[in-house]
Amino acid sequence: MKKSLVFIVAVVIAAGAWIVWTRRQDDASQNTSANGQQAQGFDKQRFSLTDPASPWVIANKHRPLQPKSYAPDDLVVPDIPLRLDTSSEEMKLRKPAAEALKEMYDAAKADGLTLMVSSGYRSYNYQVNLYNYYVKQQGQATADSQSARPGYSEHQTGLAVDVEPSSRKCEVETCFAETPEGQWVAANAYKYGFVVRYPENAQNITGYIYEPWHIRYVGKALAAEIHKQGNPTLEQFFGIEAAPNYL
């Protein structure tokens, strides 16, 4: 009788140990799976970098829009203060960017700051005139450091917007970075899906001088990941070649 009891107790203990070990293996497997997913990192192939309608399209001096005459079909006027009348095409953005900009505007206003649109969408033909004006006024080398050639402009995607204080202080000037509005944009734009596309000391990568006023809509997920990684340029983040000059 005693031997039978001892045997039963031993079986119960062994079974309990087996259950504990199995659960630990399951937990380890789950942790390994979770860590594996984390190790895979951000999905950089979620959207196209070449389709002009993609929220992640990259336009720079090596990557013209395809076609160069591309025009978005969902342009709307953002519901925030504008530099020009609502009839101006330059005051429009693609709908997702316009909605995100409205959300960002509301957040800034809650913090006591008022932003406005300085320039949004620019068509191919508009960029022809603007670029030629800069070339005439400043020479081609200087123009190329500040203005994109037609077909190469982020503004043509409808996803880029130049913002400024409602006071128009430091309008499209580097001193915008020192204004309360500029500092707020630099610290908070990513929360609403925007990145400062042409950061300081990155002309050898982006091809353009520092433009703290020029923000580009890429969506909240990508903007948050770029912020998390220390705000690299889109070229650096996606591992594509720098584009300091036209090919």
User: Going along the chain, which residue ranges are E strands?
Assistant: 75-76, 93-94, 115-119, 160-165, 194-198, 211-217
Q: Residue 191: which of 121, 109, 112, 101 has the closest Cα?
A: 101
Instruction: Give the angle subtended at the CA of 191 by the CAs of 106 and 197, to the nearest 5°.
Output: 105
Catalytic positions, please? 211
> Would strands 93-94 and 75-76 be described as parallel, antiparallel, or unpaired?
antiparallel
SS3 229: coil
**Whole-angstrom Cα Rg for the chain:** 26
Tokens 């996606």 belong to 238
According to DSSP, the residues that pair with 214 across neighbouring strands are 162
| CA distance linking residue 73 with residue 207, whole number of Å | 28
Inter-residue contact 202 to 188 (CB < 8 Å): no
SS3 207: coil
Structure tokens at 187: 């610290």
The b/e string for 117-137 (b: 16+ C-beta within 10 A; e otherwise) is bbbbbbbbebbeebbeebbee
The helix (run of H) or strand (run of E) holding residue 165 is strand 160-165
Residues 6+ apart with CB under 8 A from 237: 44, 225, 226, 229
